[in-house]
A and B are shown apart, each in its own frame.
Chain A
């Protein structure tokens, strides 16, 4: 792949990864909590599920997502020779 193509492909894949991340973020920040009243009918260890998702569930997703993202973006950088040590 020529250098300009690599630059373009790297940015396209970076964008794609970012949009996936923002999709997950939007789902666990907003979408799922719109159903909190219904989810509260389900109980796990005493936690109503709607409450649990806002108090812990979404947070756990955010943390896991960011560790995954930092690994995945690094892979993208390396794939196109765009990482810092390339």
Chain B
């Protein structure tokens, strides 16, 4: 038994289940703490005109007449059987909705991260190559811009400029899934992932710069250079290779965050991702939609964390040893 508790895998799984349960309770309680319910969300101020009998009929229709504990456990129990609930608004099950929106968000997250790495890592290395030089300052400016330009501003500006000046607005054509029309889909992903990638490039750039500087001051770099290792090989293999752990950590964190849906960017570019699904659920007070989707997001986050850990072991033998 003790061996079982000590087993790292078992502990990890137990921790994960605990976290997810905590998320479930938290979302459930928070949602009900928000003023209003599905009736007022649908009817707005017209809800004031409902007679008591009408009010009762609607509460029964939306399942709001059940005690909270019953609502919670019937939802959670249903989740285990694959029944994530039903969205009256969309006339679709939450599972179907999620199966449509999660791949969209995943695609957007992958493109954003790739763009962020392409911007952040080289610029970070460049900045670190000579501290306090012009190129370092340039790197700092880019990262400051990435951090301080709000996504909504950059997104709206890009959209307006491209649409008004060049008539280029693939996002205005209605979203197309990748497998329906890959070319159009990629165009639709371009601007949103650029906006997101630019924002995420900043922390990656900064992390890269710091990590590279730290690694470069190590003795082994001097030794390698003294041994005559070519400069490019030295920078990539010895320096960047050893600076990867913090970069991977930062990237994993940002990726997990992206899987939660980038609501603002999704709204502006009409990308039907998981962030918009949650937002619509909240606006419409469709409790099942929000609860189930948030739980899926939490699960995705946990999985990304797990994968990041696995990646450490691959890139850094010292982690494996410990």
Co-assembled chains A and B:
no
